[in-house]
Structure 1
Amino acid sequence: MEYIFLLIIGLLAGTIGSLVGLGGGVIIVPALLFLSAAHVLPTMSPQMAVGTSLVVIIFNGLSSTLTYMKHKMVDYKSGLFFFIGSGPGAMLGAWVNQHVHMQHFSLYFGLFLIAVSFLLMFQSRLSPSSKRTFPVVRTYVTNEGEEVTYGYHPLIATFIAFVVGFVGGFFGIGGGSLMVPAMILIFLFPPHVAVATSMFIVFLSSIVSSLTHVFIGNVAWTFALSLIPGVWIGAKCGAWLNRRLKGKTVVTLLRIVLILLGVRLIMQGVGL
Protein backbone atom coordinates (compact mmCIF):
# COMPACT_ATOMS: atom_id res chain seq x y z
CA MET A 1 0.00 0.00 0.00
CA GLU A 2 2.82 2.41 0.83
CA TYR A 3 4.22 2.06 -2.69
CA ILE A 4 0.86 3.02 -4.18
CA PHE A 5 0.91 6.15 -2.01
CA LEU A 6 4.40 6.94 -3.27
CA LEU A 7 3.38 6.45 -6.90
CA ILE A 8 0.45 8.87 -6.46
CA ILE A 9 2.69 11.39 -4.65
CA GLY A 10 5.17 11.15 -7.51
CA LEU A 11 2.44 11.78 -10.07
CA LEU A 12 1.15 14.86 -8.20
CA ALA A 13 4.66 16.17 -7.55
CA GLY A 14 5.68 15.75 -11.16
CA THR A 15 2.55 17.42 -12.51
CA ILE A 16 2.50 20.40 -10.13
CA GLY A 17 6.27 20.80 -10.13
CA SER A 18 6.53 20.87 -13.91
CA LEU A 19 3.44 23.06 -14.32
CA VAL A 20 4.79 25.90 -12.15
CA GLY A 21 8.54 25.16 -12.32
CA LEU A 22 9.10 23.98 -8.74
CA GLY A 23 10.71 20.66 -9.51
CA GLY A 24 8.29 18.66 -7.35
CA GLY A 25 10.38 18.73 -4.18
CA VAL A 26 7.90 21.01 -2.40
CA ILE A 27 5.41 18.14 -2.69
CA ILE A 28 7.71 15.16 -2.11
CA VAL A 29 9.56 16.36 1.02
CA PRO A 30 6.44 17.39 3.02
CA ALA A 31 4.61 14.24 1.85
CA LEU A 32 7.43 11.93 2.98
CA LEU A 33 7.67 13.67 6.35
CA PHE A 34 3.88 13.61 6.83
CA LEU A 35 3.52 9.93 5.90
CA SER A 36 6.44 9.11 8.17
CA ALA A 37 4.84 10.98 11.10
CA ALA A 38 1.51 9.22 10.36
CA HIS A 39 3.34 5.84 10.44
CA VAL A 40 2.32 5.05 6.86
CA LEU A 41 6.03 4.97 6.01
CA PRO A 42 8.94 3.98 8.27
CA THR A 43 10.39 6.77 10.40
CA MET A 44 12.27 9.17 8.17
CA SER A 45 14.55 12.07 9.10
CA PRO A 46 14.43 15.41 7.25
CA GLN A 47 17.85 14.59 5.82
CA MET A 48 16.63 11.27 4.38
CA ALA A 49 13.50 12.94 2.94
CA VAL A 50 15.61 15.67 1.33
CA GLY A 51 18.16 13.25 -0.13
CA THR A 52 15.45 10.99 -1.54
CA SER A 53 13.59 13.97 -3.00
CA LEU A 54 16.67 15.32 -4.76
CA VAL A 55 17.34 12.00 -6.50
CA VAL A 56 13.71 11.85 -7.68
CA ILE A 57 13.78 15.49 -8.84
CA ILE A 58 16.55 14.64 -11.32
CA PHE A 59 14.01 12.61 -13.29
CA ASN A 60 11.31 15.23 -12.82
CA GLY A 61 13.60 17.90 -14.22
CA LEU A 62 14.77 15.72 -17.10
CA SER A 63 11.26 14.63 -18.13
CA SER A 64 9.78 18.14 -18.12
CA THR A 65 12.87 19.68 -19.77
CA LEU A 66 12.67 17.21 -22.66
CA THR A 67 9.01 18.16 -23.14
CA TYR A 68 9.68 21.91 -22.98
CA MET A 69 12.62 21.51 -25.38
CA LYS A 70 10.29 20.23 -28.11
CA HIS A 71 8.36 23.49 -27.94
CA LYS A 72 11.46 25.73 -27.72
CA MET A 73 10.52 27.20 -24.33
CA VAL A 74 13.88 26.60 -22.58
CA ASP A 75 16.44 29.41 -22.52
CA TYR A 76 19.55 27.20 -22.47
CA LYS A 77 22.15 29.97 -22.34
CA SER A 78 20.48 31.65 -19.35
CA GLY A 79 19.92 28.28 -17.67
CA LEU A 80 23.55 27.23 -17.97
CA PHE A 81 24.72 30.62 -16.72
CA PHE A 82 22.45 30.44 -13.67
CA PHE A 83 23.74 26.91 -13.00
CA ILE A 84 27.26 28.29 -12.55
CA GLY A 85 26.03 29.81 -9.31
CA SER A 86 23.36 27.27 -8.33
CA GLY A 87 25.65 24.21 -8.59
CA PRO A 88 28.07 25.18 -5.76
CA GLY A 89 25.17 26.59 -3.75
CA ALA A 90 23.30 23.28 -4.02
CA MET A 91 26.28 21.34 -2.69
CA LEU A 92 26.69 23.71 0.26
CA GLY A 93 22.96 23.57 1.07
CA ALA A 94 22.99 19.76 1.06
CA TRP A 95 25.91 19.77 3.52
CA VAL A 96 24.33 22.33 5.90
CA ASN A 97 21.09 20.30 5.92
CA GLN A 98 22.79 17.65 8.07
CA HIS A 99 22.64 19.89 11.15
CA VAL A 100 18.90 20.75 11.21
CA HIS A 101 16.26 19.10 13.43
CA MET A 102 12.82 17.96 12.21
CA GLN A 103 10.60 20.65 13.77
CA HIS A 104 12.96 23.48 12.84
CA PHE A 105 13.20 22.18 9.28
CA SER A 106 9.40 22.09 8.78
CA LEU A 107 8.94 25.55 10.30
CA TYR A 108 11.69 27.17 8.23
CA PHE A 109 10.49 25.46 5.06
CA GLY A 110 6.89 26.59 5.61
CA LEU A 111 7.82 30.21 6.31
CA PHE A 112 10.07 30.23 3.27
CA LEU A 113 7.32 29.02 0.92
CA ILE A 114 4.77 31.55 2.20
CA ALA A 115 7.31 34.37 1.89
CA VAL A 116 7.92 33.45 -1.76
CA SER A 117 4.17 33.36 -2.47
CA PHE A 118 3.79 36.90 -1.12
CA LEU A 119 6.72 38.08 -3.22
CA LEU A 120 4.76 37.03 -6.29
CA MET A 121 2.02 39.50 -5.33
CA PHE A 122 4.31 42.25 -6.57
CA GLN A 123 4.82 40.65 -9.96
CA SER A 124 2.19 42.87 -11.61
CA ARG A 125 4.16 45.97 -10.61
CA LEU A 126 7.21 44.66 -12.43
CA SER A 127 5.66 43.95 -15.82
CA PRO A 128 7.83 43.34 -18.89
CA SER A 129 6.91 46.80 -20.12
CA SER A 130 8.93 48.34 -17.29
CA LYS A 131 11.87 50.30 -18.66
CA ARG A 132 14.95 48.40 -17.60
CA THR A 133 18.29 47.74 -19.20
CA PHE A 134 20.18 44.45 -18.87
CA PRO A 135 23.70 43.61 -20.11
CA VAL A 136 22.29 40.31 -21.40
CA VAL A 137 19.00 40.67 -23.30
CA ARG A 138 16.57 38.03 -24.60
CA THR A 139 13.21 38.18 -26.43
CA TYR A 140 10.28 35.77 -26.44
CA VAL A 141 6.81 35.65 -28.04
CA THR A 142 4.16 34.65 -25.49
CA ASN A 143 1.10 32.44 -26.02
CA GLU A 144 -0.89 35.67 -26.40
CA GLY A 145 1.34 36.75 -29.32
CA GLU A 146 3.14 39.50 -27.36
CA GLU A 147 6.90 39.95 -27.82
CA VAL A 148 8.56 40.25 -24.42
CA THR A 149 12.07 41.53 -23.70
CA TYR A 150 13.89 40.25 -20.62
CA GLY A 151 17.45 39.73 -19.46
CA TYR A 152 19.82 39.72 -16.49
CA HIS A 153 22.94 41.22 -14.93
CA PRO A 154 25.64 38.46 -14.84
CA LEU A 155 26.95 39.23 -11.33
CA ILE A 156 23.48 39.61 -9.80
CA ALA A 157 22.28 36.50 -11.60
CA THR A 158 25.22 34.44 -10.30
CA PHE A 159 24.63 35.57 -6.72
CA ILE A 160 20.89 34.88 -6.87
CA ALA A 161 21.53 31.48 -8.47
CA PHE A 162 23.94 30.60 -5.65
CA VAL A 163 21.30 31.47 -3.04
CA VAL A 164 18.68 29.50 -4.98
CA GLY A 165 21.01 26.50 -5.24
CA PHE A 166 21.71 26.64 -1.51
CA VAL A 167 18.00 26.73 -0.68
CA GLY A 168 17.31 23.88 -3.11
CA GLY A 169 20.05 21.68 -1.67
CA PHE A 170 19.05 22.53 1.90
CA PHE A 171 15.30 21.89 1.52
CA GLY A 172 15.50 19.18 -1.15
CA ILE A 173 13.29 21.08 -3.59
CA GLY A 174 15.65 21.72 -6.50
CA GLY A 175 15.38 25.49 -5.98
CA GLY A 176 12.53 26.09 -8.42
CA SER A 177 10.25 27.67 -5.81
CA LEU A 178 12.75 30.54 -5.56
CA MET A 179 14.21 30.52 -9.06
CA VAL A 180 10.90 31.05 -10.87
CA PRO A 181 9.86 34.09 -8.75
CA ALA A 182 13.39 35.53 -9.10
CA MET A 183 13.28 35.19 -12.87
CA ILE A 184 9.83 36.77 -13.08
CA LEU A 185 10.28 39.54 -10.52
CA ILE A 186 13.90 40.59 -10.98
CA PHE A 187 14.78 39.74 -14.58
CA LEU A 188 11.27 40.01 -16.12
CA PHE A 189 11.28 36.53 -17.64
CA PRO A 190 7.90 35.58 -19.19
CA PRO A 191 6.29 33.03 -16.81
CA HIS A 192 6.35 30.22 -19.37
CA VAL A 193 10.06 30.73 -20.11
CA ALA A 194 10.84 31.06 -16.38
CA VAL A 195 9.12 27.75 -15.64
CA ALA A 196 10.73 25.86 -18.54
CA THR A 197 14.22 27.26 -17.87
CA SER A 198 13.82 26.67 -14.14
CA MET A 199 13.15 22.97 -14.76
CA PHE A 200 16.36 22.81 -16.81
CA ILE A 201 18.30 24.39 -13.92
CA VAL A 202 16.51 22.14 -11.40
CA PHE A 203 17.64 19.10 -13.38
CA LEU A 204 21.30 20.20 -13.34
CA SER A 205 21.32 21.40 -9.71
CA SER A 206 19.59 18.26 -8.43
CA ILE A 207 22.31 16.08 -9.93
CA VAL A 208 24.97 18.03 -8.02
CA SER A 209 23.15 18.28 -4.68
CA SER A 210 21.88 14.69 -4.74
CA LEU A 211 25.43 13.40 -5.13
CA THR A 212 26.24 14.97 -1.77
CA HIS A 213 23.33 13.14 -0.11
CA VAL A 214 24.17 9.87 -1.88
CA PHE A 215 27.74 10.11 -0.58
CA ILE A 216 26.49 10.75 2.99
CA GLY A 217 23.91 7.93 2.74
CA ASN A 218 20.73 10.03 2.92
CA VAL A 219 18.73 8.32 0.16
CA ALA A 220 15.92 5.78 0.67
CA TRP A 221 16.40 4.04 -2.67
CA THR A 222 13.29 1.84 -2.42
CA PHE A 223 11.10 4.93 -1.96
CA ALA A 224 12.94 6.83 -4.68
CA LEU A 225 12.36 4.04 -7.20
CA SER A 226 8.65 4.04 -6.30
CA LEU A 227 8.37 7.81 -6.79
CA ILE A 228 10.27 8.10 -10.07
CA PRO A 229 7.67 6.52 -12.47
CA GLY A 230 4.91 8.82 -11.19
CA VAL A 231 7.17 11.86 -11.32
CA TRP A 232 8.26 11.09 -14.90
CA ILE A 233 4.68 10.82 -16.17
CA GLY A 234 3.47 13.75 -14.06
CA ALA A 235 6.25 16.02 -15.36
CA LYS A 236 5.10 15.48 -18.93
CA CYS A 237 1.48 16.18 -17.93
CA GLY A 238 2.50 19.40 -16.14
CA ALA A 239 4.52 20.63 -19.12
CA TRP A 240 1.55 19.89 -21.41
CA LEU A 241 -0.79 21.89 -19.16
CA ASN A 242 1.68 24.78 -18.86
CA ARG A 243 1.72 25.36 -22.62
CA ARG A 244 -2.06 25.79 -22.62
CA LEU A 245 -2.35 28.27 -19.77
CA LYS A 246 -1.85 32.03 -19.69
CA GLY A 247 1.17 33.41 -17.85
CA LYS A 248 -0.96 34.98 -15.10
CA THR A 249 -2.71 31.67 -14.50
CA VAL A 250 0.64 29.90 -14.04
CA VAL A 251 1.73 32.50 -11.46
CA THR A 252 -1.60 32.26 -9.61
CA LEU A 253 -1.33 28.47 -9.40
CA LEU A 254 2.24 28.81 -8.16
CA ARG A 255 1.15 31.12 -5.34
CA ILE A 256 -1.73 28.87 -4.25
CA VAL A 257 0.48 25.78 -4.12
CA LEU A 258 3.17 27.58 -2.10
CA ILE A 259 0.70 28.97 0.46
CA LEU A 260 -1.06 25.64 1.04
CA LEU A 261 2.21 23.77 1.48
CA GLY A 262 3.68 26.49 3.66
CA VAL A 263 0.72 26.51 6.08
CA ARG A 264 0.82 22.71 6.36
CA LEU A 265 4.54 22.69 7.13
CA ILE A 266 4.30 25.47 9.72
CA MET A 267 1.54 23.53 11.49
CA GLN A 268 3.77 20.48 11.51
CA GLY A 269 6.73 22.53 12.72
CA VAL A 270 4.84 23.93 15.74
CA GLY A 271 3.36 20.54 16.60
CA LEU A 272 -0.24 20.99 15.36
Structure 2
Amino acid sequence: MDIGYILSGFAVGFLVGITGVGGGSLMTPLLVFMFGFKPIVAVGTDLLFAALTKTGGVWVHHGKHKSVDWKIVGLMAVGSLPMSVITIYVIKHLMSIGKEITGLITYALGIALIMTACALLVRSFLMRNKARDTESGPISTGRFTGNTQVAATVLTGAVLGVLVTLSSVGAGALGTIAILLLYPRMSTLKVVGTDLAHAIPLTAIAGIGHWSLGHVDFTLLGSLLIGSLPGIWIGSHLSAKIPEKVLRPVLALILLLIGSKFVLA
Protein backbone atom coordinates (compact mmCIF):
# COMPACT_ATOMS: atom_id res chain seq x y z
CA MET A 1 0.00 0.00 0.00
CA ASP A 2 1.39 3.39 -1.02
CA ILE A 3 0.34 6.41 1.05
CA GLY A 4 0.39 8.53 -2.12
CA TYR A 5 -2.21 6.28 -3.75
CA ILE A 6 -4.37 6.38 -0.62
CA LEU A 7 -4.22 10.17 -0.44
CA SER A 8 -5.01 10.42 -4.14
CA GLY A 9 -8.00 8.14 -3.67
CA PHE A 10 -9.16 10.32 -0.79
CA ALA A 11 -8.79 13.53 -2.83
CA VAL A 12 -10.71 12.17 -5.81
CA GLY A 13 -13.37 10.64 -3.56
CA PHE A 14 -13.75 13.97 -1.77
CA LEU A 15 -14.29 15.82 -5.06
CA VAL A 16 -16.75 13.18 -6.27
CA GLY A 17 -18.66 13.51 -3.00
CA ILE A 18 -18.92 17.28 -3.45
CA THR A 19 -19.68 17.49 -7.18
CA GLY A 20 -21.31 14.11 -7.83
CA VAL A 21 -19.15 13.43 -10.89
CA GLY A 22 -15.53 13.29 -11.91
CA GLY A 23 -14.28 9.93 -10.56
CA GLY A 24 -12.80 8.42 -13.71
CA SER A 25 -12.13 11.76 -15.35
CA LEU A 26 -9.92 12.78 -12.42
CA MET A 27 -8.47 9.44 -11.32
CA THR A 28 -7.17 8.19 -14.65
CA PRO A 29 -5.19 11.35 -15.58
CA LEU A 30 -3.87 11.48 -12.01
CA LEU A 31 -2.51 7.94 -12.29
CA VAL A 32 -0.92 8.69 -15.66
CA PHE A 33 0.64 12.10 -14.95
CA MET A 34 1.42 11.97 -11.23
CA PHE A 35 2.34 8.32 -10.75
CA GLY A 36 3.51 7.41 -14.25
CA PHE A 37 1.20 4.46 -14.90
CA LYS A 38 0.64 3.39 -18.48
CA PRO A 39 -2.72 4.72 -19.72
CA ILE A 40 -4.04 1.20 -20.32
CA VAL A 41 -3.28 0.16 -16.70
CA ALA A 42 -4.76 3.38 -15.34
CA VAL A 43 -7.93 2.78 -17.37
CA GLY A 44 -8.29 -0.88 -16.37
CA THR A 45 -7.72 -0.21 -12.67
CA ASP A 46 -10.03 2.79 -12.63
CA LEU A 47 -12.86 0.82 -14.25
CA LEU A 48 -12.92 -1.73 -11.40
CA PHE A 49 -12.47 1.11 -8.92
CA ALA A 50 -15.56 2.83 -10.37
CA ALA A 51 -17.66 -0.34 -10.33
CA LEU A 52 -16.92 -0.90 -6.64
CA THR A 53 -17.36 2.69 -5.47
CA LYS A 54 -20.61 3.28 -7.37
CA THR A 55 -22.32 0.20 -5.93
CA GLY A 56 -23.08 1.86 -2.61
CA GLY A 57 -24.66 4.81 -4.39
CA VAL A 58 -27.04 2.61 -6.34
CA TRP A 59 -28.03 0.80 -3.15
CA VAL A 60 -29.15 4.15 -1.70
CA HIS A 61 -30.91 5.29 -4.89
CA HIS A 62 -32.77 2.01 -5.37
CA GLY A 63 -33.51 1.12 -1.76
CA LYS A 64 -34.11 4.50 -0.14
CA HIS A 65 -35.14 6.86 -2.94
CA LYS A 66 -36.66 4.38 -5.44
CA SER A 67 -34.98 6.54 -8.06
CA VAL A 68 -33.73 3.99 -10.59
CA ASP A 69 -35.64 3.40 -13.82
CA TRP A 70 -34.58 -0.17 -14.47
CA LYS A 71 -36.22 -0.29 -17.90
CA ILE A 72 -33.98 2.51 -19.15
CA VAL A 73 -30.99 0.86 -17.45
CA GLY A 74 -31.82 -2.34 -19.33
CA LEU A 75 -32.15 -0.60 -22.70
CA MET A 76 -28.83 1.22 -22.29
CA ALA A 77 -27.16 -2.01 -21.14
CA VAL A 78 -28.40 -3.81 -24.27
CA GLY A 79 -26.22 -1.41 -26.23
CA SER A 80 -23.33 -0.79 -23.83
CA LEU A 81 -22.44 -4.25 -22.50
CA PRO A 82 -22.03 -6.03 -25.87
CA MET A 83 -20.06 -3.07 -27.23
CA SER A 84 -17.83 -3.15 -24.18
CA VAL A 85 -17.08 -6.84 -24.77
CA ILE A 86 -16.44 -6.18 -28.48
CA THR A 87 -14.10 -3.29 -27.60
CA ILE A 88 -12.12 -5.54 -25.24
CA TYR A 89 -11.91 -8.16 -28.00
CA VAL A 90 -10.60 -5.55 -30.45
CA ILE A 91 -7.96 -4.42 -27.93
CA LYS A 92 -6.94 -8.05 -27.37
CA HIS A 93 -6.69 -8.65 -31.13
CA LEU A 94 -4.56 -5.55 -31.65
CA MET A 95 -2.25 -6.67 -28.84
CA SER A 96 -1.98 -10.20 -30.28
CA ILE A 97 -0.77 -8.91 -33.64
CA GLY A 98 1.72 -6.57 -32.02
CA LYS A 99 -0.11 -3.29 -32.60
CA GLU A 100 0.71 -0.48 -30.18
CA ILE A 101 -2.54 0.47 -28.42
CA THR A 102 -1.20 3.11 -26.03
CA GLY A 103 -1.80 5.85 -28.60
CA LEU A 104 -5.39 4.69 -29.16
CA ILE A 105 -6.15 4.62 -25.43
CA THR A 106 -4.47 7.99 -24.86
CA TYR A 107 -6.40 9.66 -27.70
CA ALA A 108 -9.72 8.13 -26.58
CA LEU A 109 -9.00 9.30 -23.03
CA GLY A 110 -8.36 12.85 -24.25
CA ILE A 111 -11.56 12.96 -26.31
CA ALA A 112 -13.58 11.55 -23.40
CA LEU A 113 -12.16 14.15 -21.01
CA ILE A 114 -12.97 17.04 -23.36
CA MET A 115 -16.50 15.71 -23.86
CA THR A 116 -16.90 15.30 -20.10
CA ALA A 117 -15.73 18.88 -19.49
CA CYS A 118 -18.38 20.16 -21.91
CA ALA A 119 -20.97 17.82 -20.39
CA LEU A 120 -20.31 19.17 -16.90
CA LEU A 121 -21.18 22.69 -18.02
CA VAL A 122 -24.23 21.60 -20.03
CA ARG A 123 -25.40 19.36 -17.19
CA SER A 124 -25.32 22.24 -14.72
CA PHE A 125 -27.29 24.43 -17.13
CA LEU A 126 -29.92 21.77 -17.79
CA MET A 127 -30.41 20.85 -14.16
CA ARG A 128 -30.63 24.48 -13.09
CA ASN A 129 -32.95 25.83 -15.77
CA LYS A 130 -35.06 22.95 -16.99
CA ALA A 131 -38.06 22.00 -14.90
CA ARG A 132 -39.04 18.36 -15.22
CA ASP A 133 -42.10 16.53 -13.96
CA THR A 134 -41.95 13.01 -12.65
CA GLU A 135 -42.74 10.70 -15.55
CA SER A 136 -45.50 8.15 -15.72
CA GLY A 137 -43.37 5.81 -17.82
CA PRO A 138 -39.94 6.00 -19.46
CA ILE A 139 -40.93 5.45 -23.09
CA SER A 140 -44.08 7.57 -23.15
CA THR A 141 -42.22 10.57 -21.73
CA GLY A 142 -39.15 10.28 -23.94
CA ARG A 143 -38.05 12.75 -26.59
CA PHE A 144 -39.09 10.27 -29.30
CA THR A 145 -41.88 7.73 -29.45
CA GLY A 146 -42.12 3.96 -29.54
CA ASN A 147 -39.36 2.03 -31.26
CA THR A 148 -37.45 5.20 -32.15
CA GLN A 149 -37.04 6.01 -28.45
CA VAL A 150 -35.94 2.45 -27.72
CA ALA A 151 -33.41 2.50 -30.57
CA ALA A 152 -32.03 5.89 -29.47
CA THR A 153 -31.56 4.63 -25.91
CA VAL A 154 -29.82 1.43 -27.03
CA LEU A 155 -27.59 3.37 -29.44
CA THR A 156 -26.64 5.81 -26.69
CA GLY A 157 -25.67 2.87 -24.51
CA ALA A 158 -23.55 1.43 -27.32
CA VAL A 159 -21.59 4.68 -27.74
CA LEU A 160 -21.02 4.88 -23.98
CA GLY A 161 -19.92 1.24 -23.95
CA VAL A 162 -17.09 1.88 -26.42
CA LEU A 163 -16.00 5.19 -24.90
CA VAL A 164 -16.00 4.02 -21.28
CA THR A 165 -14.17 0.77 -22.09
CA LEU A 166 -11.44 2.66 -23.97
CA SER A 167 -11.02 5.52 -21.51
CA SER A 168 -12.81 4.70 -18.20
CA VAL A 169 -14.33 8.19 -18.58
CA GLY A 170 -17.89 9.18 -19.46
CA ALA A 171 -20.14 6.82 -17.52
CA GLY A 172 -21.10 9.66 -15.15
CA ALA A 173 -21.32 13.07 -16.82
CA LEU A 174 -21.93 11.86 -20.38
CA GLY A 175 -24.43 9.24 -19.26
CA THR A 176 -26.35 11.84 -17.29
CA ILE A 177 -26.50 14.23 -20.25
CA ALA A 178 -27.70 11.43 -22.52
CA ILE A 179 -30.56 10.53 -20.18
CA LEU A 180 -31.47 14.20 -19.68
CA LEU A 181 -31.74 14.71 -23.44
CA LEU A 182 -33.55 11.43 -24.16
CA TYR A 183 -35.99 11.71 -21.21
CA PRO A 184 -36.47 15.47 -20.56
CA ARG A 185 -39.39 15.00 -18.15
CA MET A 186 -37.53 12.61 -15.85
CA SER A 187 -36.86 13.95 -12.35
CA THR A 188 -33.28 14.95 -11.56
CA LEU A 189 -32.99 12.39 -8.76
CA LYS A 190 -34.10 9.62 -11.10
CA VAL A 191 -31.69 10.74 -13.82
CA VAL A 192 -28.78 10.43 -11.39
CA GLY A 193 -29.95 7.10 -9.99
CA THR A 194 -30.58 5.58 -13.42
CA ASP A 195 -27.21 6.72 -14.77
CA LEU A 196 -25.44 5.34 -11.70
CA ALA A 197 -27.22 1.98 -12.01
CA HIS A 198 -26.20 1.68 -15.68
CA ALA A 199 -22.58 2.64 -14.92
CA ILE A 200 -22.03 -0.28 -12.53
CA PRO A 201 -22.44 -3.24 -14.94
CA LEU A 202 -20.70 -1.28 -17.70
CA THR A 203 -17.62 -0.44 -15.64
CA ALA A 204 -17.62 -3.94 -14.12
CA ILE A 205 -17.70 -5.71 -17.51
CA ALA A 206 -15.10 -3.35 -18.96
CA GLY A 207 -12.93 -3.66 -15.86
CA ILE A 208 -13.07 -7.46 -15.87
CA GLY A 209 -12.19 -7.40 -19.55
CA HIS A 210 -9.11 -5.27 -18.87
CA TRP A 211 -8.26 -7.55 -15.92
CA SER A 212 -8.25 -10.55 -18.29
CA LEU A 213 -5.73 -8.65 -20.43
CA GLY A 214 -3.48 -7.92 -17.44
CA HIS A 215 -4.32 -4.21 -17.24
CA VAL A 216 -5.35 -4.02 -13.56
CA ASP A 217 -2.99 -3.25 -10.65
CA PHE A 218 -4.72 -4.68 -7.58
CA THR A 219 -2.32 -3.15 -5.06
CA LEU A 220 -3.13 0.22 -6.55
CA LEU A 221 -6.85 -0.60 -6.59
CA GLY A 222 -6.86 -1.50 -2.88
CA SER A 223 -4.98 1.69 -1.95
CA LEU A 224 -7.39 3.87 -3.94
CA LEU A 225 -10.41 2.26 -2.29
CA ILE A 226 -8.98 2.77 1.20
CA GLY A 227 -8.65 6.48 0.49
CA SER A 228 -11.72 7.11 -1.64
CA LEU A 229 -14.45 5.63 0.54
CA PRO A 230 -13.93 8.03 3.48
CA GLY A 231 -13.27 10.82 0.96
CA ILE A 232 -16.65 10.31 -0.69
CA TRP A 233 -18.37 10.19 2.71
CA ILE A 234 -16.79 13.45 3.90
CA GLY A 235 -17.29 15.19 0.55
CA SER A 236 -20.96 14.21 0.44
CA HIS A 237 -21.54 15.76 3.86
CA LEU A 238 -19.75 18.98 2.92
CA SER A 239 -21.33 19.33 -0.52
CA ALA A 240 -24.12 21.59 0.72
CA LYS A 241 -21.59 24.05 2.19
CA ILE A 242 -19.40 24.48 -0.91
CA PRO A 243 -20.91 26.38 -3.89
CA GLU A 244 -21.31 23.97 -6.80
CA LYS A 245 -21.53 26.88 -9.28
CA VAL A 246 -17.87 27.57 -8.50
CA LEU A 247 -16.59 24.00 -8.37
CA ARG A 248 -18.10 22.64 -11.58
CA PRO A 249 -16.64 25.27 -13.96
CA VAL A 250 -13.21 24.85 -12.32
CA LEU A 251 -13.45 21.07 -12.66
CA ALA A 252 -14.58 21.42 -16.27
CA LEU A 253 -11.64 23.71 -17.09
CA ILE A 254 -9.17 21.26 -15.51
CA LEU A 255 -10.61 18.35 -17.50
CA LEU A 256 -10.54 20.39 -20.70
CA LEU A 257 -6.85 21.19 -20.24
CA ILE A 258 -5.95 17.60 -19.34
CA GLY A 259 -7.98 16.23 -22.25
CA SER A 260 -6.26 18.59 -24.67
CA LYS A 261 -2.88 17.42 -23.39
CA PHE A 262 -3.81 13.79 -24.07
CA VAL A 263 -5.14 14.54 -27.55
CA LEU A 264 -2.11 16.63 -28.53
CA ALA A 265 0.44 14.27 -26.96
Normalising by structure 1, what TM-score?
Answer: 0.74
CA contact (8 A) 2:106 2:263 kept: yes
Equivalent residues in 2 for 1:187-226, closer than 5 Å: 187-188=183-184, 189-226=186-223
Work out the CA distance in 1 between the residues paired with 2:166 and 2:45: 13
Q: CA RMSD in A?
A: 3.6
CA contact (8 A) 2:112 2:169 kept: no
CA contact (8 A) 1:22 1:176 kept: yes
Q: 1:262 and 2:256 equivalent?
A: yes
Residue 42 of structure 2 corresponds to 49
Residue 155 of structure 1 corresponds to 151
CA contact (8 A) 1:18 1:236 kept: yes
Higher share in helix: 2
Residue 64 of structure 1 corresponds to 57
Unaligned stretches of 5+ residues in structure 2? 96-100
Q: Per the alignment, in what secondary structure is the counterpart of residue 44 of structure 1? A: coil
**Shift of the alpha carbon at 1:263?**
1.2
Equivalent residues in 2 for 1:158-169, closer than 5 Å: 158-169=154-165
Q: Per the alignment, in what secondary structure is the counterpart of residue 84 of structure 2? A: helix
Q: Which amino acid aligns with 1:196?
A: G
**Shift of the alpha carbon at 1:150?**
9.1
Q: Which moved more, 1:261-270 or 1:207-216?
A: 261-270
Work out the CA distance in 2 between the residues paired with 1:187 and 1:270: 35
Normalising by structure 2, what TM-score?
Answer: 0.76
CA contact (8 A) 2:68 2:190 kept: yes
Distance 1:100 1:67, change over 3 A: same
Work out the CA distance in 2 between the residues paired with 1:251 and 1:134: 32
Equivalent residues in 2 for 1:29-48, closer than 5 Å: 29-36=28-35, 43-48=36-41
Higher share in strand: 1
Q: Which moved more, 1:116-125 or 1:18-27?
A: 116-125
Distance 1:135 1:5, change over 3 A: closer
Distance 1:208 1:81, change over 3 A: same
Q: 1:229 and 2:232 equivalent?
A: no
Q: Which moved more, 1:43-52 or 1:257-266?
A: 257-266
CA contact (8 A) 2:210 2:216 kept: yes
Q: Per the alignment, in what secondary structure is the counterpart of residue 261 of structure 1? A: helix
Residue 98 of structure 2 corresponds to none
CA contact (8 A) 1:184 1:190 kept: no
Distance 1:165 1:65, change over 3 A: same
Unaligned stretches of 5+ residues in structure 1? 37-42, 139-148
CA contact (8 A) 1:18 1:238 kept: yes
**Shift of the alpha carbon at 1:23?**
6.5
Equivalent residues in 2 for 1:49-128, closer than 5 Å: 49-77=42-70, 78-95=72-89, 99-101=101-103, 104-117=107-120, 119-120=122-123, 123=126, 127-128=130-131
Q: Which amino acid aligns with 2:257?
A: V
Q: Deviations over 1:208-243 (max 9, x none)?
A: 11111011100111111111122333344455567x
Distance 1:5 1:20, change over 3 A: same
CA contact (8 A) 2:14 2:233 kept: yes
